[in-house]
Amino acid sequence: MTGHLSAKPPILVILAFLTLGSVLTMYPPAAAAASVDGVLKLMPVPASVTVRDGRFRVDENLTIVPPYTGDPKGVVTSRAFKAAARFMSRLAGRTGLFLKQDFLTAQTPSVEGGIRYAYARPGALLPNEDESYALTVAPDKIALDAKTDIGVLRGLETLLQLLSADETGYYFPCVDIADKPRFTWRGLLIDVGRHFHPVDVIKRNLDAMAAVKMNVFHWHLTEDQGFRVESKVFPKLHQLGSDGMFYTQAQIRDVIGYAAERGIRVMPEFDIPGHSTSWFVAYPEFSSAPGSYGIERKFGVFGPAFNPSDERIYPFFDAFLKEMSALFPDPYLHIGGDEVEGHQWEANPAIQAFKKKNGLADNGALQAYFNKRLLKILTKYGKKMVGWDEVFQPGLPNDIVIHSWRGPKALVEAALKGYQGILSNGYYIDLCQPAEAHYLNDPLPPDSPLDDRQKALILGGEATMWSELVTPETIDSRIWPRTAAIAERLWSPASVTNVDDMYRRLGFVSVELEELGLLHLKNPDMLLRRLAGDPRIEPLKVLAEAVEPLKNYQRHGQAAYTSLSPFTRFVDACAPESLAARAFRKNIDQFLAGKDPKLGRKIGATLALWKANHVLVLPLIAASPALREIEPLSLGLARACEVGLEALDRLMKGQIQPAAWAEEKGKILAEAAKPAAHAELAVLSAVTKLVEASAGPAK
């Protein structure tokens, strides 16, 4: 134990906990969603919305009607009709209405009204396909029209978000919406190499992607830690390189079909020539250094890499990529190409002789040679190559796609030279950055130096969920809801940049996503109950709301993480971004700007709650060895809040604190700011502002 504050009288602890609601209401509550007009909840924001007078009332007689084609069987099996069926099922789930329509069979109601949708043709799962739609809600009917059935899917998601409620019941507000995406490539990468994520994890995230109009699932299938796809041509790859955790080809086809029904493309990635240790477990002879290989358990950048000078690897890749090209119908295939460490290449005399013979000045040129050979193979099988920044080398044809992870500079340089590009830098959701940082990160910022022709080469962006620190239990909480903010950046007009409004709507979307089976709201409590061995976890929840995991890659410096490490600790139950801390910071800023006594009392109640929480956490820590690492966090929060209350009291009274006082309190806050349990207190910057303000000149 690291010590604790003296216990407070029970009555003060009880009073502090009565303010728990004031902290929790910093999150938009689920119950409030029904009382906010649906137009105000839309995410992504449509291109154009016109609100009309009136409401379309929803009752058990609601029907949804497909366009009549004369082929009932064809209608029922169409992508749009299946989406309409899911829409009705989700609507019933949200409202509790016993909808009478047998919406799983094609039928034409005898009366006018209800929801009618129409489209001109089935959409192709290709970049630049038309996803636009027009939605009109009138008091007596709803019309959804699109050029493709994919547009119908996007419109149905908007209509479901419009659902609202009043004292009479449920309704859709009357609106005219004309909508289309800003970017054609709106993706989510899930890394299943470092930690394997079963099919059910993939499917629930595909459902969430569809709900926020994302359309590319980037499946990162191979890594040093695992080869995750069944190969019938080279079965040793998955048999020896996966620990038995891989997708069968039947499962992959199932996921591709599932995604296609939601208007989502599936692009595979096989990361080569680096990040490839798992390949060499089966085929060590293809590595650039001799020796037996085992599946890598640690995380980082490792030396093993394919030997580009070995002519045997190209027939191998030809056969493998032929098999994978047949399995994955998407026209794009990602070859990775990032972070080739290079030591194996430098230490191999045959590779050095090959470079000299072929005039390859450095490892970048050697990798470009390798990529050109792969490009010929992929072109033969009708695939377009996508690769990370490192594949952007002189001499490669312009029909490859540059995927930028290191920064927008490479994206701009590629576009200037005629290459298409995708942005992921700034969308690394595994780094636990706030949604705001992702939201304000734009593939085409206002100061872009590109002209209109070059801007058209920027296809869009992808959120990237690298999985060093996530398992199927926690991955949803690291993806959602922040990825919905990225989805809006990639769909909505560039002028939609109101951060506060984004957070307001993000709360509603987060609750709505939960109906799809996502665990981002549910599993943190489960993890805390597991750690405590007790269902009474309120003190742990209060602490978790004031805490965030360490940002960027700092958490790796706290322990020797491996793919076999437990990811069930307190930090794993903490959200990547504390919305309670964000709301607290905004309250502090507002208070310091105007010294509103009412707001000051609200801030004081929150500080009192967090301060009083420590004595309630201590018994849980004492009963659970797994929780003992959080005591410095809890103690630090209590001490920081004690400082905050003292500063707030002086500010409320208009009193000035001497500089020495601020210096003394700053030391307490600095101690509380030290990481513990691989996490940090997210509220300290706001408390620091209180201290600094209370030591300033009187107003």
Q: Summarize the confidence of residues 303-324 as an average pLDDT.
A: 97
State whether CATH 3.30.379.10 applies to domain 48-179: yes
Mean pLDDT, rounded, of the chain? 92
Q: How confident is the model at residue 70 (pLDDT cuts 50, 70, 90)?
A: low
Residue 536 clears pLDDT 90, i.e. is over it = yes
Residue 20 reports pLDDT greater than 60: no
Amino acid residing at 532: A
pLDDT band at 107 (very low <50, low <70, confident <90, very high): low
- Flag the least confident range among 4-13, 303-312, 338-347, 600-609: 4-13
Chain-centre distance for alpha carbon 523: 16
Q: Average pLDDT, stretch 351-380?
A: 96
Distance CA 304, CA 287 (A): 6
Residue 5 reports pLDDT greater than 60 = no
DSSP string, 21-32: HHHHTTS--HHH
Confidence of residue 63 (pLDDT cuts 50, 70, 90): very high
Q: Is the pLDDT of residue 31 over 90?
A: no
Phi-psi category of residue 43: left, alpha or beta, with phi > 0 → left and psi -120 to 50 → alpha: beta
Q: What is the mean pLDDT of residues 303-307?
A: 96
pLDDT higher than 80, residue 29: no
> For position 478, what pLDDT does the model report?
98
Query: CA–CA separation, 79 vs 261, rounded Å?
Result: 5
Residue 18 has pLDDT above 50, yes or no: no
Write the pLDDT tens digit of every residue in 611-647: 999 999 999 999 999 999 999 999 999 999 999 999 9
Secondary structure percentages of the chain, helix, strand, coil, to 5: 45, 15, 40
Q: CA 530 to CA 475: how far, in whole Å?
A: 17
pLDDT in tens, 256-277: 999 999 999 999 999 999 999 9
Q: Residues 323, 377: contact at Cβ < 8 Å? A: no
For residue range 584-600, what is the model confidence (pLDDT) as tens digits? 999 999 999 999 999 99
pLDDT confidence of 474, banded at 50, 70, 90?
A: very high
Q: Which tens digit of pLDDT belongs to each residue from 546-589?
A: 999 999 999 999 999 999 999 999 999 999 999 999 999 999 99
Per-residue pLDDT averaged across 424-438, rounded?
A: 98
The reply to whether 462 belongs to the active site is no
User: What 3 state SS string does 487-545 have?
Assistant: HHHHHCCCCCCCHHHHHHHHHHHHHHHHCCCCCCCCHHHHHHHHHHCCCCCHHHHHHHH
* Predicted pLDDT at 74: 61
Write the pLDDT tens digit of every residue in 169-201: 999 999 999 999 999 999 999 999 999 999 999
AA identity, residue 680 = E
Q: Residue 2: pLDDT above 80?
A: no
Please choose, from the candidates 454, 438, 440, the residue with its C-alpha nearest in 3D space to the C-alpha of residue 495. Answer: 440
High-pLDDT (> 70) share of the chain, %: 92
Mean pLDDT for the stretch of residues 94-117: 78
- The pLDDT of residue 9 is 34
The Cα 9–Cα 375 span in angstroms is: 72
The sign of the torsion formed by the CA atoms of 306, 309, 311, 312 equals: negative
For the chain, give every residue range classified as CATH 3.30.379.10. Answer: 48-179
Query: Looking at residue 169, what is its pLDDT?
Result: 96
The whole-number pLDDT of residue 185 equals 98
In 3D space, the residue among 347, 360, 339 whose CA is nearest the CA of residue 289 turns out to be: 347
Look at residue 103 and tell me whether its pLDDT is greater than 70: no
> Catalytic: which of 261, 311, 323, 339?
339
Q: How far is CA 530 from CA 155, 197, 328, 437, in A?
A: 41, 21, 40, 32
Paired residues of 226 in beta bridges: 223
Average pLDDT over residues 127-147: 97
Residue-wise burial string across 645-668, b where 16 or more C-beta atoms lie within 10 A, e elsewhere: bbbbebbbeeeebeeebbeebeeb
Q: What is the pLDDT of residue 656?
A: 86
What's the pLDDT band for 699 if we cut at 50, 70, 90?
A: very low
Tell whether the model's pLDDT for residue 696 goes beyond 70: no
The string of pLDDT tens digits covering residues 202-256 is 999 999 999 999 999 999 999 999 999 999 999 999 999 999 999 999 999 999 9
The confidence score (pLDDT) of residue 102 equals: 74
| pLDDT > 90 fraction of the chain, expressed in percent and rounded | 87
Which residues 6+ apart lie within 8 Å of 659 measured at CB? 695
Q: Is it the case that residue 393 has pLDDT exceeding 90? A: no
